[in-house]
Chains A and B, each alone.
Chain A
Amino acid sequence: MAQPLVKKDDDRDEEVEYSPFFGIEKGAVLQEARVFNDPQLDARRCSQVITKLLYLLNQGETFTKVEATEVFFAVTKLFQSKDIGLRRMVYLMIKELSPSADEVIIVTSSLMKDMNSRTDMYRANAIRVLCRITDGTLLTQIERYLKQAIVDKNPVVASAALVSGIHLLQTNPEIVKRWSNEVQEAVQSRAALVQFHALALLHQIRQNDRLAVSKLVTSLTKGSVRSPLAQCLLIRYTCQVIRESGVNLQTGDRPFYDYLEGCLRHKAEMVIFEAAKAITELSNVTTRELTPAITVMQLFLSSSKPVLRFAAIRTLNKVAMTHPMAVTNCNIDMESLISDQNRSIATLAITTLLKTGNESSVDRLMKQITNFMSDIADEFKIVVVEAIRSLCLKFPLKYRSLMNFLSNILREEGGFEYKKAIVDSIVILIRDIPDAKESGLLHLCEFIEDCEFTYLSTQILHFLGNEGPKTSDPSKYIRYIYNRVILENATVRASAVSTLAKFGALVESLKPRIFILLRRCLFDTDDEVRDRATLYLNTLEDDSVTESGKDVKEFLFGSLDVPLTNMETSLKNYIQNPSEEPFDINSVPKEVKSQYHAEKKAPGKKPSGLGAPPGAPPPVADSYERLISSIPEFASFGKLFKSSVPVELTEAETEYAVNVVKHIFDSHVLFQYNCTNTIPEQLLENVSVIVDASEAEEFSEVGTKSLKSLPYDTPGQTFVAFEKPEGVPAVGKFSNMLRFTVKEVDTATGEAEDDGVEDEYQLEDFEVVAADYMVKVGVSNFKNAWESLDPETERVDEYGLGPRESLAEAVNAVINLLGMQPCEGTEIVASNSRSHSCLLSGVYIGNVKVLARLSFGIDGTREVAMKLAVRSEDVTVSDAIHEIVASG
């Protein structure tokens, strides 16, 4: 079929862009397909038509059901032809058409004949086609031939059968699993690719049988696997076995590590790379294990092939996240990659360097990056900006040069995503590095002077409104903000008005001037701008008369602390049941379980950017405090000391989902039970929790607040309050029973029946522990803080923690027991280290500052010993901390 499909037109000048498919049309080609029905088949012409059909399909053309069926039946006629080339095209066509079950039957016999043909190409291809289109019932008929094919002398046939087996395993596992003897035999094949396919299939058949996989790996890693692809597979399987078996505890050796290291000397690059990558991905990999892999990557870095350089730098980039020191040897090679033609490689090199670099190399690196930034695409720039942000957080002292860099690139051309990444980074830096605040805000101000993105302008204005008034000289920002009112579109003008109002509310000295500016906005052309100006003017002026300054600030700065979805449901309910009373925002349930949890559990989710309110955690505590103080029964408890994270009291997916938040006060504890009813057919009323505190002797119940009604899927809270000795960290265990009245609800009308049944639901127990009396409060400089506390208050003792799984596990256990904030990243234990020190800080009940220094050691029998030194503002608290550890 090497001949041209269509005779080249003789008139050469027709078109320069000549294409045999020029002006091709589906209808015409379908007409042409009639040649398939000719009694005298012209093989070449038929091939051409099939090629045209395939071309159409390839271009994205689709055939209707009728057209496809017609073409399919016509194509089946071509099995009469003995022309090999045509037959191959027929196979392709059948695969492309993916016929329906009843159509498959038509070709089955022809394909089965080909499967047993003496022509190898027929056999191999017929197997692949048949397996592609077949269903389970047919498979049993051809199973025998497939088993034969797997051990066929011809490697192409064997591979075809094996690969088909891999696909069929997804749909008909029980049949394919019966072939394992044949597949096993094929693994020993001398043909490289047969070995590869056989190994892949054998592993998939056995993947759920750990022992079998382990045996397979053990026998093959000793023998010689010839094909590089099969070798790569074997490396992957080996890693799986390593993951599941863990490190040998006695010798510290890792099983099969020698095999992986041996593969680093393989002659095929793909095997070398696969092994090196595998080593870097081992869990708790040691520096000694890493070194040979890193050395190999370093060689790849200077390869002439871009693919090798890319593969190596990408892997090193990942290693740098966990083991930056291991990669520093490659720094020189990576620096030369900054000028690499391939910008993906250059970007990866830069970001890796940013991770491995130390404080002294930052300036030099920034110089190199500045030259580099001008000639890469936005998406690479974003990656670089993010790397610089994390670098700046790592070396806060370098903020000046990094902030300058960010502000410089902010002034250059760039798309929205890129600018947003820069602005987000500046905002995060301002938030985390107090020194950077003033300069950062000014950079942002300059940026909005000439910013084409409304979204970014409004976000920055909002941020300015929150941060600007707290700076040393708030007045200098006013000019930038008021310029927005004069120059920008309505959306930006409106946010500028809000920002002005915030300055007015917070900075007394600016108030008269802000009034003048706001009054000018009263003549704006846009409704929203005028409305906002009027609203703010009124609230701010009222403030001076009634002196309810707190309310105004609340109104201006209080973020909406109820989840929007709850707000929406509550408002809908309010509209449906009209009443005389005004809508009370405090009646909106404040818990959205899933979202709330996600927020709590993902503190690492840093890129809060502009959208999130500054400093996410405090508003949560605030909202609890506000919630509790709004309940008269509990308002007298005083200041809320700490609220715990919610503890689940029910399994997931049960009828009623309940969790509890422990609020600690000076002489009270308050349990807030967040309940959700997950049954649409039920309405719960008078929901309360009966608490049995017999195992918590120091507590006595003082009050409960039940929940009037708990409709389907709307979270609600019920409270139980206990009194305890003042300032004493009393502990105890509480068992709980949910009591309520159930009413059936007609889901169609949403109306509940009148009479209900009393019912109870057993909840799980929970405990109040010592850690509940400790608030996690970090200190920026532990050493200074430690020395500022009176050495007299220091209490030191040593403890044996018994045998532990690992040092990290022991450290975590103690941190959790004490409920204190780890400082300076000391909660992370270097893998395989034998000793570790950890610094903790916190505030104990009674607002007593506590610092703790912990030194851990682990011996050969995995016994962990700990030395604990505590200093606090009160000696008794130091003793109390020791008591917690001693009794924990």
Chain B
Amino acid sequence: MATFLSREACPTLKNILLLDSEGKRVAVKYYSDDWPTNSAKLAFEKSIFTKTQKTNARTEAEITMVENNIVVYKFVQDLHFFVTGGDDENEIILATVLQGFFDAVTLLLRNNVDLREALENLDLILLCLDEIVDGGIVLETDGSIIAGKVATHSMDDGAPLSEQTISQALATAREHLTRSLLR
């Protein structure tokens, strides 16, 4: 009962997927037990991919239902971004998470959002996923903050700091200092 209520009360995600133009995994993260085995996960990815493949989700995020789940998705170049939630989840929250993920990846890959760049910076993508959602609960939805958290140590001037608090900025500065001292 407790778990049921918590599911109902708190917006939860079931998975975040980043697939390539053939439907293969780049990075995926599952938060729900709906797909217990790897083959179940792959089957879900396949069905979601074939279902959305022919749609045009390049300018605005698109949305559909797959196996009683709401899926919001967006494509750029040869990368397909997906966010899945339960069928009574607020669609707009899911779309916000997708946008956050997408913006963060765009910032981290310095606008070169394509498969090759994503694979070469897979560590950043994985950290990015880790900073967006923890166990199904949304941690952060603002792309620039997410990117900022991922890239604290390798921050370049282009990354927006506007949303960071003073203490965060100080910490960043401190980290930069330690790093240069240790080198």
Chain A interface residues toward B at CB < 8 A:
1-2, 4-6, 18-21, 47, 50-51, 54-55, 58-60, 62, 82-85, 88-89, 92, 95, 118-121, 128, 132, 153-156, 159-160, 163-164, 166-167, 169-170, 173, 191, 193, 196-197, 200, 203-204, 207, 229, 232-233, 236-237, 240, 269-270, 273-274, 277, 304-308, 310-311, 314, 341-342, 344, 377
Contact = CB atoms under 8 A, between A and B. Distances in A.
B135 A55 contact: no
B123 A232 contact: no
A204 B171 CA distance: 32
A787 B27 CA distance: 72
Given A60-B38, A167-B135, A92 B130 contact: yes
Contacts of B178: 82
Given A58-B28, A84-B175, A197 B3 contact: no
Given A1-B121, A18-B116, A54-B123, 15 more contacts: A1-B153, A2-B124, A2-B156, A47-B123, A55-B122, A58-B126, A59-B25, A155-B165, A191-B165, A207-B5, A270-B90, A277-B90, A306-B60, A306-B61, A342-B62
Interface in B128-156: 130, 134-135, 137-141, 149, 151-154, 156
Nearest to A52: B122
Contacts of B126: 51, 54, 58, 92
A128 to B, nearest CB: 6
Nearest to B26: A58
Given A163-B139, A306-B62, A342-B62, A120 B182 contact: no
Interface string B90-124: 11111110000000000010100001100111111
Contacts of A159: 139-140
A120 to B, nearest CB: 5
Contacts, number: 185
B139 A203 contact: no
B56 interface: yes
B175 A193 contact: no
B49 to A, nearest CB: 14
A88 to B, nearest CB: 6
B9 A237 contact: yes
Interface in B4-37: 5-6, 8-11, 25, 27-28
Contact of A60 (B27, B42, B62): B42
A496 to B, nearest CB: 37
Contacts of B119: 19-21
B77 interface: no
A51 B96 CA distance: 27
Given A18-B116, A163-B134, A5 B122 contact: yes
A716 B131 CA distance: 62
Given A92-B127, A119-B175, A203-B9, A4 B120 contact: yes
Contacts of B25: 58-60
Contacts of A342: 55, 62-64
B168 interface: yes
9 contacts: A5-B121, A19-B115, A84-B175, A121-B152, A153-B167, A156-B149, A232-B11, A270-B90, A311-B90
Contact of A307 (B5, B91, B141): B91
B2 A170 contact: yes
B119 to A, nearest CB: 5
Contacts of A92: 126-127, 130
Contacts of A62: 38
A60 B41 contact: yes
Contacts of A1: 121, 123-124, 153-154
Nearest to A274: B90
A377 B65 CA distance: 13
Given A5-B120, A153-B167, A163-B139, A305 B61 contact: yes
Contacts of B95: 305, 307
Contact of A193 (B8, B91, B121, B140): B140
B9 A236 contact: yes
Contact of A310 (B91, B121, B138, B140): B91
Interface string B38-57: 10011000000001000110
Contact of B141 (A51, A54, A229, A305): A229
A233 B137 CA distance: 12
A155 B149 CA distance: 12
Contact of A84 (B28, B65, B135, B179): B179
A274 B91 CA distance: 9
Contacts of B108: 2
A60 B41 CA distance: 9
Given A92-B130, A170-B2, A304 B91 contact: no
A5 B61 contact: no
A409 B108 CA distance: 50
A270 B10 contact: no
Contacts of A270: 90, 92-93, 96
A82 B63 contact: no
A233 B167 contact: no
Closest 4 CB pairs of A and B: A60-B38, A311-B91, A270-B92, A84-B153
Given A2-B154, A121-B149, A307-B63, A128 B134 contact: yes
Given A1-B154, A203-B9, A341-B56, A89 B123 contact: yes
A306 B137 CA distance: 24
A304 B139 contact: no
B120 A229 contact: no
Contacts of A305: 60-61, 95
A855 B56 CA distance: 57
Contacts of A166: 6, 10, 137
A51 B127 CA distance: 10
Contacts of B79: none
Nearest to A93: B126
A705 to B, nearest CB: 46
A228 to B, nearest CB: 8
A25 to B, nearest CB: 17
A55 to B, nearest CB: 6
Contacts of A120: 167-168, 171
Contact of B63 (A51, A156, A269, A344): A344
A169 B2 CA distance: 10
Contacts of A59: 25
Interface string B65-76: 100000010000
Contacts of B58: none
B137 A163 contact: yes
B90 A344 contact: no
A306 B182 contact: no
Nearest to A5: B120
Contacts of B151: 2
A163 B110 CA distance: 30
A232 B127 contact: no
A20 B60 contact: no
Contacts of B9: 200, 203-204, 207, 233, 236-237, 240
Contact of A344 (B65, B116, B124): B65
Contact of B92 (A118, A121, A311): A311
Q: Which among A1, A155, A193, A305 has the highest number of chain B CB atoms within 10 Å?
A: A1
B130 A119 contact: no
B31 to A, nearest CB: 11
Contacts of A60: 25, 38, 41-42
Contacts of A21: 119, 122
Contacts of B61: 305-307
Contacts of A82: 178, 182
Given A120-B168, A128-B134, A232-B90, A344 B10 contact: no
A50 B126 CA distance: 11
Q: Which among B42, B121, B123, B179 has the highest number of chain A CB atoms within 10 Å?
A: B123
A197 B134 CA distance: 11
A382 B14 CA distance: 26
B91 to A, nearest CB: 4
A20 B5 CA distance: 44
A6 B64 CA distance: 37
Q: Which among B62, B91, B121 has the highest number of chain A CB atoms within 10 Å?
A: B91
